[in-house]
Amino acid sequence: MSKDLRINEEIRVREVRLVGTDGEQLGILAVRDALRMAQERNLGLVEVAPMAKPPVCRIMDYGKYKFEQSKREREARKKQKIVNIKEVKLRPNIEDNDFDTKARNAIRFLEDGDKVKVTIMFRGREITHPELGRQLCVRLAEVCKPISNVERDAKVEGRNMIMILTPKAETQREPKAEKPRDAKTAEKAEAPAKGEVSE
């Protein structure tokens, strides 16, 4: 259904195909008769298919429909996962321990459901040896292979080489749940400390 539906007196046609509250077909009626039937039930007449010949109108509680529609839209937005792109920058001559740190960062980003843009930054004459950057990309992709796929292979752009990794759906981490407290810990937390007065 369109968001901007015409209702009641806004419906400017002579006759409509009327649908009842339970979806039953009530036939083709003059719009004034359809409107009267809706008012008798303390409901609204809503034009749901304006392009049909004649237009289709339904008797419904329009306020309730709008409320439920906005509720459904809010729920759909909540379920949508926003994918961010996080960047990991490396140099062709990076030390092993620095590489390990960058790899851990990439793994963390992927587990959080984010894409990872791997950027190899070349300086000066380093750009004449793109194979070094490609080897780094292959090495990082191999480390992240259990939880990611290569969405875009390593490619030189200007003085950088770019590769994009995307997380595998089944390896994305769920939000951390609070640890359950045992009974004694819960009692201590709930009991007021000395000198305090519980309300």
Is the pLDDT score of 78 beyond 80? no
Quote the pLDDT of residue 194.
46
Average pLDDT over residues 139-166: 93
Quote the pLDDT of residue 81.
67
Are 8-77 and 85-171 equal in CATH topology?
A: no
Quote the pLDDT of residue 55.
92
Quote the pLDDT of residue 170.
66
Could you give the percent of the chain with pLDDT greater than 90?
47
Give the DSSP letter string of the chain: --SS--BGGG---SEEEEE-TTS-EEEEEEHHHHHHHHHHTT-EEEEEETTSSSPEEEEE-HHHHHHHHHHHHHHHHHHPPPPPEEEEEE-TT--HHHHHHHHHHHHHHHHTT-EEEEEEEP-GGGGG-HHHHHHHHHHHHHHTGGGEEEEEEEEEETTEEEEEEEE-GGGPPPPPPPPPPPHHHHHHHHSPPTT----
Domain spans in the chain, listed from the N-terminal domain onward: 8-77, 85-171
Is the pLDDT score of 178 beyond 50? no
Among 3.40.50.300, 3.30.110.10, 3.20.20.210, 1.20.1050.10, what is the CATH number of 85-171? Answer: 3.30.110.10
CATH class of 8-77: alpha beta
In this prediction the pTM is: 0.48
> Tens digit of pLDDT for each residue in 155-165?
999 899 999 99
Residue at token pair 């306020």:
63
Q: Write down the mean pLDDT value for the chain.
A: 83
Average pLDDT over residues 146-173: 87
